[in-house]
Amino acid sequence: MSPQAPPVAVFKLTADFREDSHPQKVNLGVGAYRTDDCQPWVLPVVKKVEKLIVEDSSLNHEYLPILGLPEFRSAASKVALGDDSTAIKENRVGGVQALGGTGALRVGADFLRRWYNGTNNTATPVYVSAPTWENHNGVFADAGFKDIRPYHYWDAAKRGLDLDGLLDDLEKAPERSIFVLHACAHNPTGTDPTQEEWKKIAEIMKRRNLFVFFDSAYQGFASGSLDKDAWAIRFFVSEGFELFVAQSFSKNFGLYNERVGNLTVVAQDNENLTRILSQMEKIVRTTWSNPPSQGARIVSKTLNCPELFSEWKGNVKTMADRVLLMRDQLKTKLQDLGTPGTWDHITQQIGMFSFTGLNPKQVEYMIKEKHVYLMASGRINMCGLTTKNIDYVAQSIHEAVTKVQ
């Protein structure tokens, strides 16, 4: 007997938004980029490359290898680890093409459940940030892990990183626990550790033998710079960690529905890597057999061609810059309105999301009274803001904060 299951919150929000007929409605829900006209944006470089693919009659629709398109996998790992990566030169880095960031996380989680900390050790604790992307829990739970715990992350009082709490959790976690770290542009808070803070995290994780699993869904999207956004990953690799990086190209390539992701595996040496990848194949074969080719072709062509790669970086910067502009304007307007509280966190936070600090009652007010849709957590998608609606949104936040406690 199948009971009715609750819908995924973020999709329900969008569904409710669609049904709303209010002329000033604003959707600050689901995480996809929007232009200043509030339209989806297919990157110009993607349009260009797609045209090349459609016109190339030598291309067919044959199966990719189980682990995916080789040129895609290597280019994707290189984007994360850097052109000059020693680990890549030492041949101890491999990629598993996966269905989006979710697919990369899931393949990694399935592998860890089978092969990490013994075999089939479902008791290994998995730590995810409090809060985190809600699907992290589902991915690791369905991969079989029985003990998924939060680590301190968001400090609601100071609207920033709870570093002491985080470090304390690292010190107290059982050895070999798995930690899911957001490489940049933390979802949903937009709050990232500084480089100094990352160094502290790394030091404890190495000393206590904790497993590093990076979730990298916003490389380039956060600061506008691929290298800057990958700093934490590269630092950990340089510190000698064997780690996983689940990469998504949904946002930075705008290829949401083509499901382009890559699980980058950094191993101690090539021999270990080979065995790991052979077991990754087994996992992939019973999940989706081999990954979809269209999105991987687009990304691969772009990353492997200098001019296209350059054009792509420009497109990414366009998106990142618009978000930075909206952050700046929102903060300024709230300050000008004299909205109670401090709003520095809006420009200190980074990436697509901002944890406004609005409480559930205030969020309800925003949705019901002002038709401004955001997550119950107070998370807003900065991409939903435009020069046309930002005044209305700022005014709405002002009202919510002053009228509702």
Give the active site residues: 133, 215, 251
> Nearer Cβ to another protein, position 146 or 275?
275
218-242 burial: b if 16+ Cβ within 10 Å, else e:
bbbbbbbebeebbbbbbebbeeebb
Gap between the terminal Cα atoms of the chain:
42
Strands 353-355 and 379-381, by their bridges, are antiparallel
Q: What six digits make up the tokens of 383?
A: 């991409």
* Residue 157 within binding range of another protein, rule CB under 8 A: no
Which CB sits closer to another protein, 231 or 392? 231
278 near another protein (CB under 8 A)? yes
Residue with smaller CB distance to another protein, 209 or 402: 209
DSSP conformation letters of 314-352: HHHHHHHHHHHHHHHHHHHHHHHHT-SS--THHHHS-SS
> 116 or 218: whose CB is closer to another protein?
116
The size of the interface with another protein (CB under 8 A), counted in residues, is 77
Question: By CB under 8 A, what part of segment 19-38 binds another protein?
Answer: 30, 32
C-beta of 234: minimal distance to another protein in Å?
14
The helix (H) or strand (E) run that includes residue 247 is strand 243-248
For residue 28, give the nearest of 398, 397, 404 by alpha carbon: 397
Using the rule CB under 8 A, give the single segment among 132-140, 322-330, 332-340, 353-361 that binds another protein.
Answer: 132-140
Where do we find the tokens 């350059």?
310
Q: Is 270 in the site for another protein (CB under 8 A)?
A: no
- Segment 192 to 221, residues that bind another protein, using CB under 8 A: 211
Asked whether position 369 contacts another protein by CB under 8 A, the answer is no
* Closest to another protein by CB, 316 or 334: 316
Residues of span 281-320 touching another protein by CB under 8 A: 281-283, 285-295
Q: Which DSSP letter does residue 6 get?
A: P
Instruction: Write out the binding residues for another protein, residues 33-72 only, by CB under 8 A.
Output: 39-40, 42, 46-47, 50-51, 54, 60-66
Any contact of residue 359 with another protein (CB under 8 A)?
Answer: no
Question: The tokens 């401090």 sit on which residue?
Answer: 342
Considering the rule CB under 8 A, would residue 119 count as an interface residue with another protein?
Answer: yes
Q: Are 82 and 227 in contact (CB under 8 A)?
A: yes
* 335 near another protein, judged by CB under 8 A: no
Q: Give yes or no for a contact between 279 and 108, defined as CB atoms under 8 angstroms apart.
A: no
259 touches another protein (CB under 8 A):
yes
CA dist., res. 105 & res. 333, Å (int): 38
Give the footprint of another protein on residues 134-153 (CB under 8 A): 135, 138-139, 141-143
Specify the DSSP class assigned to residue 261. Answer: E
3-state secondary structure at position 25 = coil
Residue 118 binds to another protein (criterion: CB under 8 A)? yes
Residues 227-246 that bind another protein (CB under 8 A): 239-240, 242
Shortest separation between residue 61's beta carbon and another protein, angstroms: 5
Interaction with another protein in 73-102: which residues (CB under 8 A)?
98-100, 102
Helix (H, G, I), strand (E, B) or coil at 11: helix
